[in-house]
Structure 1
Amino acid sequence: MTIGVIGGSGIYEALPLENTRKEEVSTPYGEPSDAVTLGELAGKEVAFLPRHGEDHQHAPTDASYRANIYALKSVGVDRVIATNAVGSLREDLPPRTLVVPDQIFDRTKHRSPSFFGDGMVVHMGFADPYCPAMVDHLSNAAAEATDDGTKTEEGGTYVCIEGPQYSTRAESEFYRDQGWDIVGMTAIPEAKLAREAELSYATVAGVTDYDVWKEDNEVTLEEVLANAEANQDAINEVVEHAIRTMPEDFESKAWSALEGTINTPADAIPEETRERVDLLAGDYLD
C-alpha cells in the first residue's frame, strides 16, 4: 500500500521519512500544487503533497485539487490522510481541539468538483463523504497518540465555505443553527475527487478559532496561525501514528466506488475523454 498525506509543510518536516525522493508529476488536469515527496515510514510507502504549495501560495479556491488527487493516484496511493485548519461552531470544541469529521456540507461555488464530464456522465455516491474505515482508523490514532491532554472529537459535520474570506456573523450563526460542528475552506472538492479516484480518504482537522459566532470574537490571521502552529505537534503525532498502525488488511468501499456509476456507454465516450480518465476509470471502460 501507499499512503498519501495532504497537508502543510510542517507535517512533512515532522514525519521521519526515510529514502525520500521528489517526483514531478504532470496530469491532464494541470500541475499539482507541488512535487510529490515519496519516502518510507515503518516499512510503508508514504506520498506527501502540500495542498497549498510549499510556500502556501495557492488560495483555497485556486488550489490544484484535481491535479493533486490525480498525482497521488498516479504514484500508487490507495488511501489518503488529509489535514485541515478549521473554525469551531461549538462551545465545547475550543481552539487546539482535533476533530475527525464524518460528514461535509458543501457551500463552495467556484470549484471543479469532478474529474469527469466532456461526454462522460458519472453519478457518484457520496452519502458518507469520508471513508468510514479511515475515519475509524484516524479517530483511534488521535485517541492513542495525543496523551498530553489534547482534546479529540470523533465525528461531526465540516461545512466547507468558498473563502478566502472568513464567515460573516450571519453565516456563522446559520451554520450553528444547522447543528454543524466545524467550518473550513478545503474539504471540497478534495473529498469528492478522492472518492471519484477510488481512494480511501479522511481528515484530521485542527481547530484554530471560534469563527465569529461567539460574542466579542473576531477571527484574525494572527490567531489562526498561532493556534495552527500549536496544533501542529498533535496533528503530526496523529498522522505518524496512523501511518505506523495502518493495517495491511484494511478494507474500504471507496476502492470500488466507480462500479455502477458511469451512466454513459463506453463506446459513446469521446476518445479524448477516455484517454484523460484512463488512470481513474479505465478498468470500467474496457
Structure 2
Amino acid sequence: MGLIAIIGGTGVCDLKLLDHIHDGYMDTFYGTIHYVKGAYKGKDIVFLPRHGKTHSIPPHLINYRANILGLKRLGVTAILATTAVGSLNPDYKPNEFVLPDQFLDFTKLRHTSFFDGGENGVVHVDMTSPYCQTLRKTITDAGTLLENYDIHPTGTYVCTEGPRFETPAEIKMFEKLGGDLVGMTNVPEVCLAREAEICYATVSMITNFAAGISPTPLTHSEVLECMAQNSQRLRALIMKTIEIYQDTDCDCRHTLKDYGGFTV
C-alpha cells in the first residue's frame, strides 16, 4: 500500500491525531522538501506544508516540482490537497467546500512540467480528467458520513500567478470563461502530480466572493479568519477521507504508459 499525502496549511493536519510522528527531509534534483510523517488509523500519512512551516513562501515561489517529486520518491500514491479560494459563482458561497474537476491556468512564470527536454525528454500528458475520479468520489462519500457538509461536486478552478488579488475586470473575464473559483496554488501542482502518476484531488474552501462580486475590498485577514473558522471542518473531512480511502490501482497511475512510465 502506498503513502497518502496531505498538502495544505498547518491547520489542515492535526498532528495530535497521528501516531509515530517524525520530521523528515527528502532531497530532489529541484531542491529539498520538509515533511511530517505519521500514521492515522493504521494508514501511513505524509503531511507537506505547501507554504513552509511558518507560511513564509508565497504562491508564485513555491517549489512545486520539488514537492511533487519528493512525495513521489517517498512512495506517495495519492495526494489530498487543500486550497483557499474566492468564488465567482453566486451558487458557491463562503464557508462551503468545492471539489474542482477542471481548471483554467493563468499563471505566468511557473515551471509546469518535469519534462523540459534534455535528459528528461518531452512528454505531453493527457489532462481530460485532471483530478482523480476515485479520490473525488471518496471525498464526497466522506462528506455524506459527516453532518452539515455542503460539498459542491464539480467546479472550474482559475489559477492566477499572485501574490496579489485579482482585479474586478479579471474576475469578470474569468467568470465569462466559465470559472467558478479563483486561487493561486492549484497549478502546476495538479499537472505535476498527473505527470508523476499520483492520484490527486483538491478540496477548495471558499473564503470570500471575489473582487467586484464582494461588496467590500478583499483582505488577507478575511481569508485567514475564514480558514480559522473552518479548519476543523476541513480537517475532519480530510481525515474521514483517509479513513475510508482504498488504495487500489487507478488510471492516474498509468498516465505516462506510452512513455514507459514516470522515471524522473
Range into which the TM-score falls when normalised by the shorter chain:
over 0.9
The 5-angstrom pairing of residues 85-164 of structure 1 reads 85-119=84-118, 120-145=121-146, 147=147, 149-164=148-163
**Structure 2 counterpart SS, 1:191:** helix
Structure 1 residue 13: Cα displacement: 2.4
Counterpart contact for 2:143–2:149, Cα < 8 Å: no
Runs (5+) with no aligned partner, structure 2: none
**Structure 1 counterpart SS, 2:182:** strand
Q: 1:206 to 1:15 in 2, by over 3 A?
A: farther
Task: Give CA-to-partner distance per residue, 1:179-214, whole Å, 9 cap, x none.
Answer: 221110001000010011100000111000101131
Q: For the residues of structure 2 that align with 1:251 and 1:62, how far apart are their CA atoms?
A: 33
Task: Give CA-to-partner distance per residue, 1:204-239, whole Å, 9 cap, x none.
Answer: 110001011316232111211111111211110110
Q: For the residues of structure 1 that align with 2:123 and 2:37, how far apart are their CA atoms?
A: 31
Q: 1:74 to 1:171 in 2, by over 3 A?
A: same
Q: 2:47 aligned with 1:48, yes or no?
A: yes
How many pairs align?
Answer: 261
Give 2:243's aligned residue: 244
**Structure 2 counterpart SS, 1:171:** helix
Task: Give CA-to-partner distance per residue, 1:145-166, whole Å, 9 cap, x none.
Answer: 3x1x342111110010111111
Structure 1 residue 172: Cα displacement: 0.6
Letter in 2 for 1:16: L
Letter in 1 for 2:11: G
Q: For the residues of structure 1 that align with 2:178 and 2:243, how far apart are their CA atoms?
A: 34
- The runs of at least 4 consecutive aligned structure 1 residues that moved more than 2 Å come to 12-15, 142-145
Q: For the residues of structure 2 that align with 1:96 and 1:280, how far apart are their CA atoms?
A: 37
Q: For the residues of structure 2 that align with 1:244 and 1:15, how far apart are their CA atoms?
A: 16
**Structure 1 counterpart SS, 2:240:** helix
Give 1:269's aligned residue: none
Give 2:60's aligned residue: 61
Give 1:209's aligned residue: 208
Runs (5+) with no aligned partner, structure 1: 263-278
Letter in 2 for 1:193: L
Q: 1:11 to 1:216 in 2, by over 3 A?
A: closer
TM-score (norm 1): 0.87
Q: For the residues of structure 1 that align with 2:145 and 2:205, how far apart are their CA atoms?
A: 16
Structure 1 residue 14: Cα displacement: 5.5
The 5-angstrom pairing of residues 222-237 of structure 1 reads 222-237=221-236
Q: For the residues of structure 1 that align with 2:178 and 2:195, how far apart are their CA atoms?
A: 28
Higher strand share: 2
